[in-house]
Every structure is written in structure tokens, then in C-alpha cells.
Amino acid sequence: MKLTLRTLLVAVAALSFSFPATAASLKVGVVPGVYADSIEALIPEAKAKGLDLEVVEFSDWTTPNIALQSGDIDVNYFQHQPFLDNATKERGYDFKSAGIGVLANIGLYSLKYKKFEDIPENGKVAIANDPVNQGRGLLLLQRAGLLKLKDGVGFKGSLDDITENPKNLSFTEVEGPQLARVTGDVDLAQGYPHFIVASKAFDPSSGLLYSGVDDKQFAIIFAVKSDRVEDPAIKELVTLYQNSQAVKDAINKAFASDTKLYTLPWVATN
């Protein structure tokens, strides 16, 4: 049978309609709690839009960036920009933010005392072990009147920057996601409400003091390698996330439906 060019073109066109276009896929690195839950909630909507999401869960705040650097994941969603800036300084990452997500409050929690003045002499305090989040915790302790830091250190302060410690408090440095699990073992602990909800350890709304949710630099970002900031699949992920009611519902549930514990900064800026 003799095939004309027109016949061939018609055949190719028919084949192209016989098979669906290959869906884009992304591996998203998260830590447990609101970040994992909200990405999981997005999977059905993303799939309907031709974007397959695979959630890769980590239990610490170091491995997600290592995995992104190695190409084991395409994007991670667990850190704010100051945390990434510090990680970049220490390890030389070439990552950028492809968009912002939820802004979580942090607090100071005690399962033994109702007031800061009741914290005893030589009391034990659990605090985040990474530089930026430790600094945020120390600022809360300073606001609570339990210590003083060197002038001007801000959220970059560390235990070495404590200038006054009138109660002679001792500090245990703990990976952020694990702080909820050690709160009962100390007199006072820095805490992240969504990790507390995930652990089911105690009431996430029982903090003695909170940082507030007005500082948008602490919004969690979608971090990617710099050369993928304009990747259509990643841009679609961020757009879908920010416009999904299922995501908003998952975030609210992850914060025990307490809106004082979080905000959606992209809504506030739109």
C-alpha cells in the first residue's frame, strides 16, 4: 500500500491522541507534621492537573537539604529563608526559594509550671540545636525575663551569647522536630505547635509565650536548586498549594484548628 505524506501525518496525529501526555512528577522532601500533611493533601488535586507528587519524609532538619543537593528529591518544604541562608553558609548550597508556604508560630512550653517565675533555680531548658531556630528560642526566653543576650544578636544568637542567666538555667540542645517529645523531661522547652500536634504529647495551645506570626521571613519555603526556580512543574506545585482548600484544611488541622498558631502569608500578601 502506498502511503502519502498526508496519510502519515494523520496516522501520527491519531497516535498522539491515543496516549495521554506523560505527567510531570516531583519528589517533595518534608518533615512530619504540617509540612508532610499539607503536601499529602495536595496529591489528588495535583494528579488531576497532570502533576504526580511523591512525598519523601525525613525526621531531621539536615538530611532534606543533603537530599536536594544530591538530586534524590526535587524540592524540599521544611525550612524558612534564614535557616536556608545559614545552611548555605555552612555547606555551600546553591538553592533558592520557589515560593512561600505556611508561617508557623513557636512557643515556650512547660508541663510542670504555669508561670515563668515558677521555673526553679538550676532549671532545665530544652532548645533547638540549629543556629537560627535556637536564636529564635533564646529571644523568647529573653522576652520571658529568664536571660539576656548580647545586644544586636537577634535570631542569630546562640548559647554563647547569653550574658545574664539569673536562675542558672542549663540547656539541652535538641533537633527541632524532637522537642515535643522531651518537654515532659525538662522544666521548660521551646516548641513547635505542629510537631506537638503530630506527637500527641500535650496541648499545642498551652504555650506560656509565643513568638507571633508577623515576621514573614520565617515562612516555610519551597527550596529548589537555583537552576530549577522557573521549572514549570515546581511553579505549578507552588500555585496549586497556595490555592488549594484541601491544603488550607490540612494546615488548620495540623495546628489543632487554632489560628493563633499559624498564618498563611501568601494570602496576606495577595
Q: Which of 16-25, 72-81, 172-181 has the lowest mean pLDDT?
A: 16-25
The chain-wide mean pLDDT, for the chain, equals 91
The answer to whether the CB of 106 falls within 8 A of the CB of 220 is: no
pLDDT of 12 > 50? The answer is: no
Main-chain phi, psi angles of 115, to 5 degrees: -135, 150
Per-residue pLDDT averaged across 43-50, rounded? Answer: 98
**The pLDDT value given to residue 22:** 57
What percent of the chain clears pLDDT 70, i.e. is strictly above it? 91
Q: Which band of pLDDT confidence, cut at 50, 70 and 90, is reported for residue 169?
A: very high
**Model confidence band, residue 23 (pLDDT cutoffs 50, 70, 90):** confident
pLDDT of residue 102: 97
Handedness of CA 205, 210, 213, 218 (dihedral sign): negative
Distance of CA 114 to the CA centre of its chain: 28
Check whether 101 has a pLDDT greater than 60: yes
